[in-house]
Each structure stands twice: as C-alpha cells, then as structure tokens.
Structure 1
Amino acid sequence: MDFRWEVPAKRRARWHVTNRRAWRAATTTTRARTPSCCG
C-alpha cells in the first residue's frame, strides 16, 4: 500500500503533518508490517 507515493507532494506533505502523531502510534503497533516511511 504505497498510497503516499500516489498522492501529489503537496497533499503528501500535508497528510504527513496532519497524521504525524497518528502515524507514530501506528508505527509502534504495525512496526514490522509497515516499511520505512520516513527514511
């Protein structure tokens, strides 16, 4: 699921900032499942 690559850079940056803390929580839960997002 590389949806973040499909969306444009603008929406991608905004999405990241919006769900930044949510992503961190998700990363802790699905750590082994999700690849390196912010590499």
Structure 2
Amino acid sequence: MKEIKRAKVLIVDEYQSKQISMMAMMMWRTDRPVCP
C-alpha cells in the first residue's frame, strides 16, 4: 500500500510541476515585449 501511495504522489508531483512550468512559460511569453 505504501508503495502505491508513493507512486501516486510522484505522479501528482510530476503533473503539478509540468503545469507550473507550462504556466511559467505562458507568463514569460506574455511578459516579454513581442518583436515584430
């Protein structure tokens, strides 16, 4: 049971970090002045 819980936590952690990095990229893109 502990192993399964740990695996779930790892998956959630990875998912959350992916979401955060995606959001950071979006923010970074909108923050930067767009060059024509």
| TM-score normalised to structure 1 length | 0.33
The structure whose residues are more often helix, as a share, is 2
* Structure label with greater radius of gyration: 2
Higher relative contact order, chain-length normalized (CA < 8 Å, sep 6+): 1
